[in-house]
Structure 1
Amino acid sequence: MKLSGLKPIALFEASKGLLALLVALGIHELAGDNLQSVAESLVTHLHLNPASHLPGIIIDASRSLSDARLGLIATGAMVYSLVRFIESWGLWHQVRWTEWFALVSGAIYLPAELYEFATSPNLLSTGLLVLNLAIVLYLYLTLRVQRKTHQQ
């Protein structure tokens, strides 16, 4: 017996894969450009204060990124995207190993999300923690129900 909540999780994983793919393509497109200039333009376009913390981090990071590092980051984002698409496909088609993979890959983030929530609780950290906990718990229950059904 399969529970029906796997399809929304599959869509969520596919959206993470799509976001990673867009990031990879964006990084690839920016390779060779003056990244510091691009980052400053982006901060200005978004009407952010370049002297504040997060925009400052973005501008400082853009200074230290070489084309080789950008290529490595883009490759990592592509691999992450591919993994998320495979996981999504497997969850959609109820392939058991992808359910285990999704459980483990979701659980890996829990310590970092708990730490972030404990040190600086805000709406984003709370939302991510609750969402990921719900997904991990649902996948655990799904696998547990399957195991009990399979044993009977």
Structure 2
Amino acid sequence: MEAQSQYNPDPHAHPGLHAIAVFEAAKGLVALLAAVGLVWAGPAVLQHALDGLAAKLHLNPSHGPVASLLRGINPESIGIAVAVTLAYALMRFVEAWGLWQAKAWGSWLGCIGAAVYLPFELYALIRRPGWLEVAVLTINLLVVWILGRDLAKRRR
């Protein structure tokens, strides 16, 4: 007797859900690697890198925004940045799992999460038009459209 598959996708789910799930999981992995990098590097390495960047850009690290940023890099701020980055990674992994399993809540989470960025992407495109801004906006609009269409199909 053949074993039944545990995966029973919603017949109304959009076929692009798996592609978006892989994309979201990749973003979660990048965030996870960033958190590990922050822990590994620590404040001293980040401060040294910022000093080097300020020197290359001919900025004065003794006062102004660079000095403020340098003072803000400390173990506590690194811990906060790591916690926020890990929360972001977890959210992306949960969303990816929900989309992979064709769960409606996964489509809701993805649609809302992608739509939140649209005003910022439009602003970036208006301020500094370029191929990268167009590509990011286009991909995000496509994600919102696919997930919105998936949710609409589920309602019927």
TM-score (normalised: structure 1): 0.82
The equivalent residue for 1:46 is none
* Residue 50 (structure 1) aligned with residue 38 (structure 2): no
Could you tell me which of 6, 12, 18 is aligned with 2:29?
Answer: 18
1:42-69 deviation per Cα after TM superposition (whole angstroms, max 9, x unaligned): x5xxxxx4348xxxx8897445311101
| 1:3-152 correspondence runs (5 A) | 3-40=14-51, 49-51=56-58, 61-148=69-156
Structure 1 gaps, min length 5: 44-48
Which amino acid in the other structure matches residue 90 of structure 1?
G
TM-score (normalised: structure 2): 0.80
Which amino acid in the other structure matches residue 89 of structure 1?
W
Counting aligned pairs with the same residue, the percent is 33
Contact 2:39 2:82 in 1 (8 A): yes
Which amino acid in the other structure matches residue 26 of structure 1?
G
Contact 2:43 2:78 in 1 (8 A): no
Matched pairs, number = 140
Which amino acid in the other structure matches residue 65 of structure 1?
I
Say if 1:98 and 1:60 are closer, same or farther in 2 by CA, change over 3 A: same
Measured in 1, the distance between the counterparts of 2:51 and 2:43 equals 16
Structure 2 gaps, min length 5: 1-11, 60-64
Shift of the alpha carbon at 1:129?
Answer: 0.5
Shift of the alpha carbon at 1:109?
Answer: 0.6
Measured in 1, the distance between the counterparts of 2:21 and 2:139 equals 14
RMSD, matched Cα: 2.3
Could you say which structure has the larger radius of gyration?
2
Which amino acid in the other structure matches residue 125 of structure 1?
E
Contact 2:14 2:149 in 1 (8 A): no
